[in-house]
Amino acid sequence: MHNTISSTAQSQPDTGPMLTPEEFGVGARITLSVMSDDYAEIILGALTSTDLTGLSLTTDAVSTWVTGDEPSIARFVTELLAAAGRSGKHVSAHVLFSRGCPGEVVCALPAGRLPGPDALPELPVTGVEALAQWSLYPLDDAGSPGRTPDHMRDIYAAIDLAKATGTFDGSEHYVTRLSGDVAQIVQTVVAGWLLVGRSVQHVTTHTVFSINSPSAR
């Protein structure tokens, strides 16, 4: 796995203030499902076993929202999915990462908080294998000085990064397939998210994970 972010995408100068992760809208929303009668115990046990240092969590009837810096969020998602997967039950998780827009309908925010090379930690291998379907959304309406918006350019750069990490497993309608250790997949997804975030302020990425699936795909 790689802990650097590189591609043909160029960074724009960071001329704005260094906002906190929550002020900049850095976070993830997770829905974890376990196909087992004791799903509540497995989910709560997985949450209890994760490191929440530097993170804020809010759970409602549908999902859990977590905010904090990017490395802490990546670590949390990895630990949560791996802990649930170690139950041996079929686990499915919908994970949405977003950065660059803390609001809902209106997203007016000064530029700032470009991800640096230390934004992506080396995540320890968990020993839990997963399949995933990944989609990436660079939400760039105006572009930046000297750079026109081109969402497919940025998406292909992230896919090339997935191929370089060895987690790329093919393409399907609307998604890219990934496979490997949970930590490797999370690192690929977060790396692509941060890669595009170096030139696009508001970036979201959505991934569906499947662990211990009774079918191959």
pLDDT in tens, 173-205: 999 999 999 999 999 999 999 988 887 888 999
Query: What DSSP letter does each residue of 111-167 carry, written as one string?
Result: S-----TTSS--PPP-S-EEEEEEEEEE--SS-BTTB---HHHHHHHHHHHHHHHT-
pLDDT in tens, 24-83: 889 999 999 999 999 999 999 999 999 999 999 999 989 999 999 999 999 999 999 999
Q: Is the pLDDT of residue 89 over 90?
A: yes
Q: If DSSP codes are grouped into helix, strand and coil, which group holds residue 59?
A: strand
Residue 114 identity (one-letter amino acid): L
Which domains are seen in the chain, by residue range?
Answer: 21-102+118-211 (3.30.70.930)
pLDDT of residue 10: 40
Share in percent of the chain as helix, strand, coil (round to 5): 30, 25, 45
- How much is the pLDDT for 8? 37
